[in-house]
Amino acid sequence: MEKLIINGGNKLYGEVDISGAKNAAVAIIPAAIMASDKKCIIDNIPDIEDVHCLERILKSLGCNVIKEKNTIEIDSTNLTNTNACTEDVRRMRASYYFIGALLGRFGKARVDLPGGCPIGVRPIDQHIKGFEALGADVVIEHGAVIIKADKLVGTKIFFDVVSVGATINVMLAATLAEGVTVLENVAKEPHVVDVANFLNSMGANVKGAGTDVIKIFGVKKLKGCNYSVIPDQIEAGTYMIATSACGGEVTIKNIIPKHLESMSAKLMETGVKIIPNGDSIKVISSGNLKGVNVKTLPYPGFPTDIQQPMTALLCVAKGRSIVNESIWENRFKHVDELKKMGAAVKVEGKTAIVDGVQKLTGAVVKATDLRAGAAMVIAALMAFGTSEVEGIEHIDRGYPHIEDKFKMLGADIKRVKK
Ligand code: EPU
């Protein structure tokens, strides 16, 4: 077990490179097994535990996998195994993409139900509704999804809720269905577009990703390709918020400014200066911020995945801020930890009422999930005194080398064995 020791109070200065997007990579890697001809070579893969977990799942299925720095080579041409039932599958959320990928390629799969961050009920009914509409039979037995189809046939599917996972998963299977599939009320996140672009590089014919309607013209087979994952908008947002909260001047490199617009707009409302410049963005902050109201929404709205870091920042912003979490019903576990540092936050259902305090003070706190972990690191970086952040295995699932990146910006942070 490891933890982070952080001496707060340093302003942040310098440059930070943003890695490839976790939520794109964790879909693209399972999608790569749909290539029955030639291997996939995928670049800008983030060095995070969720990716390591997927590598192990690919190997357990029988794929040849070579990982070198930020590039992963996946050769699944000889793949025949359609059973993904391991501890790693049960541990992470994105393993559900093996259902769509295996169903598309082989017409069948047995995949253990996924795990992931404890941020609320996380059903997969919309994924199943989509697979069934394509012609698959689905049963859930002994904790696994068992799915089978004589053939998949394109159809029109209207999702009841906007779901990133269901949009991507059904899109995967539909690329190899017969005829045309129309997906309506879909998620428009940049990673949905990235997965569609990856599928098209493999020979699929997917149109409209990034809008409310995705049209998929089924093809007979997919082949390997070379691809590079988009930058992580949430990692970028995390460093933007940290700089805003601590004060300082940081250039955040290797990003797509368009993907950060809702976060940039909100941070500017708090009084921070944001200057986009090509594929980087400069954040300049005095550290004296004013409170704002935030409501999380599907893209292009303010991302739920940045709500927890933003709540940490608002703890020291002047006045009252109201944070409304509209995607997940249990994403305020970080609030109890923030209170240990002197924050004045009250949670009522899906709303947090934050009254800004002069300063936070260092404490022993816990990362209860991935983004709660980022919130704790930010709170500790701006707090007076020393903090210990425990539960950092959650942080390692989604943030590559977080302590090294913050150290480069002048933070006093180190990882130690517990
Ligand atoms: N939902 C359903 N039925 C479904 C699927 C979703 O009711 O079949 C509901 C959920 O309960 C939730 C809403 O729809 O209220 C949105 O869920 P979505 O399916 O979009 O979430 P997800 O695919 O499980 C991904 C990310 C999450 C991120 C959400 C929302 C991955 C692996 N995970 O989850 O990322 O919060 O989209 O943007 O892509 C994170 O990175 O920290 C993280 C939790």
Q: How confident is the model at residue 329 (pLDDT cuts 50, 70, 90)?
A: confident
Task: Decide if pLDDT at 121 tops 80.
Answer: no
Instruction: Provide mean pLDDT across the span 281-299.
Output: 97
Total residues belonging to the chain: 418
Instruction: Give the tens place of pLDDT for each residue, 211-260.
Output: 999 999 999 999 999 999 999 999 999 999 999 999 999 999 999 999 99
Instruction: Give the tens place of pLDDT for each residue, 345-403.
Output: 999 999 999 999 999 999 999 999 999 999 999 999 999 999 999 999 999 999 999 99
More confident residue, 116 or 317: 317
247 in the same domain as 151: no
198 in the same domain as 100: yes
Å from CA of 327 to ligand 1 middle:
8
Å from CA of 132 to ligand 1 middle:
20
Q: Is 70 in the pocket of ligand 1 (CB under 6 A)?
A: no
Asked whether the beta carbons of 4 and 399 are under 8 A apart, the reply is: no
* Dist. CA 374–CA 29, nearest whole Å: 24
Tokens linked to 202? 């493999």
Q: Is 127 in the pocket of ligand 1 (CB under 6 A)?
A: yes
Q: Is 329 in the pocket of ligand 1 (CB under 6 A)?
A: no
What is the domain extent for residue 342?
A: 2-19+231-417
14 in the same domain as 44: no
Q: Is the pTM of this model over 0.85?
A: yes
Taken in order 138, 140, 142, 145, the sign of the CA dihedral is positive
Given this model, what pLDDT does residue 161 score? 95
321 in the same domain as 254: yes
Among 168, 195, 228, the domain-final residue is 228
107 in the same domain as 30: yes
Q: Is 331 in the pocket of ligand 1 (CB under 6 A)?
A: no
Å from CA of 166 to ligand 1 middle:
8
* Dist. CA 316–CA 305, nearest whole Å: 20
Residue 380 backbone dihedrals phi, psi, to 5 degrees: -65, -35
HEC readout, the chain: CEEEEEECCCCEEEEEECCECHHHHHHHHHHHHHEEECCEEEECCCCCHHHHHHHHHHHHHCCEEEEECCEEEEECCCCCCCEECCHHHHHCCHHHHHHHHHHHHHCEEEEECCCCCCCCCCCCHHHHHHHHHCCCEEEEECCEEEEECCCCECCEEECCCCCHHHHHHHHHHHHCCECEEEEECCCCCHHHHHHHHHHHHCCCEEECECECEEEEECCCCEECCEEECCECHHHHHHHHHHHHHHCEEEEEECCCHHHHHHHHHHHHHCCCEEEEECCEEEEEECCCCECCCEEECCCCCECHHHHHHHHHHHCCCECEEEEECCCCCCCCCHHHHHHHCCCEEEEECCEEEEECCCCCECCEEECCCHHHHHHHHHHHHHCECEEEEECCHHHHCCCCCHHHHHHHCCCEEEEEEC
**CATH code for the domain in which residue 80 is found:** 3.65.10.10
181 in the same domain as 68: yes
Q: Is 240 in the pocket of ligand 1 (CB under 6 A)?
A: no
Ligand 1 atom 27, closest CA: 305
130 in the same domain as 99: yes
Q: How confident is the model at residue 320 (pLDDT cuts 50, 70, 90)?
A: very high
Strand 71-75 versus strand 64-68 pairing type: antiparallel
198 in the same domain as 78: yes
Given this model, what pLDDT does residue 97 score? 98
Among 193, 209, 228, the domain-final residue is 228
Instruction: Give the tens place of pLDDT for each residue, 149-191.
Output: 999 999 999 999 999 999 999 999 999 999 999 999 999 999 9
Q: By C-alpha distance, which of 33, 20, 370, 23 is closest to 191?
A: 23
Tell me which of 92, 299, 327, 402 to substitute to probe ligand 1's pocket, judged by most ligand atoms within 8 Å of the beta carbon: 327
b (16+ CB within 10 A) / e for 148-165: bbeebbbbebebeebbbb
Total of domains in the chain: 2
206 in the same domain as 95: yes
Instruction: Give the tens place of pLDDT for each residue, 250-285.
Output: 999 999 999 999 999 999 999 999 999 999 999 999
303 in the same domain as 205: no
Tell me which of 122, 163, 296, 402 to substitute to probe ligand 1's pocket, judged by most ligand atoms within 8 Å of the beta carbon: 163
217 in the same domain as 280: no
Among 202, 228, 254, the domain-final residue is 228
Active site residue 117: yes
Average pLDDT, the chain: 97
* Dist. CA 195–CA 174, nearest whole Å: 13
Å from CA of 162 to ligand 1 middle:
9
221 in the same domain as 239: no
CB neighbours of residue 53 within 10 Å: 22
Tell me which of 92, 161, 297 to substitute to probe ligand 1's pocket, judged by most ligand atoms within 8 Å of the beta carbon: 161
